[in-house]
Amino acid sequence: MTIDVFKRQVGDRAAAMVTSGTVVGLGSGSTARFATLRIAERLRTGDLHDVLGIPTSSDTATLAREGGIPLTTLEEHGVIDVTIDGADEVDPDWNVIKGLGGALLREKIVAYASRVEIMVVDEGKLVKRLGSKGPVPVEVLQFGWRNTFLGLEKTGARPVLRLRGERPFVTDEGNWILDCHYGPIADPETLAHRIKEIPGVVEHGLFLGMVHRVVVAGADGVRLLEKP
């Protein structure tokens, strides 16, 4: 099966966990997109009703509106019943790296407000240590970003300014992203604290202790991982 088939499978499985009368966090990225589409389909068929969505990016907001999902805000609903989002890497302790899609700041705000945070991934995203396959995205202010860059280097990173074409990639909040290559990370919690101490850092893509369930698709089908 193709990777898109896997993504659709986990998106559909996670969307099946959404119940009527709830506030749902709508994640960003290609896998979470399938969950949003499935929620919209369930609303159209009457299988689901009285659901409000809180999107984690402008792209997800557009997708939800096009699908007919009513949207709300954290100001109106400060507690989210369940959020379905994708991840770039997931370790055995269910710590994850997010942000390759560029929405890590809103995604973390939504995750923090969620009773249940569900990650939807294909089995290729499972790693023994975070940082094994890709960078840790760090959202930074444009002002003084070169000094922030130097500060991140002191944490052991090889930072790379993310570009879109020839210009810096700009997040929904008007910030830039430095993709920080560390290799396998021995102590994610210590690294997370060191990154946040650097002036100019808005947020990082290390989501530690925030995930409650992981839906994984692979050659043997879809499986649900839940913490005891």
Q: State yes or no: is 226 an active-site residue.
A: no
Within 8 A by CB and 6+ apart from 217, the residues are 6, 7, 9, 10, 13, 121, 122, 123
Q: Which member of 107, 117, 139, 203 is catalytic? A: 107
Assess contact for 95 and 46: CB atoms under 8 A.
no
Beta-sheet pairing, 201-204 with 136-140: antiparallel
Answer for the pair 111, 25: CB distance below 8 angstroms, yes or no.
yes
Which residues is 168 bridged to in the sheet?
163
Query: DSSP letter string over 126-159?
Result: B-SSTTSSS-EEEEE-STTHHHHHHHHHTTT-EE
Residue 169 to residue 167: CA distance in whole angstroms: 6
The residues assigned a catalytic role are 107
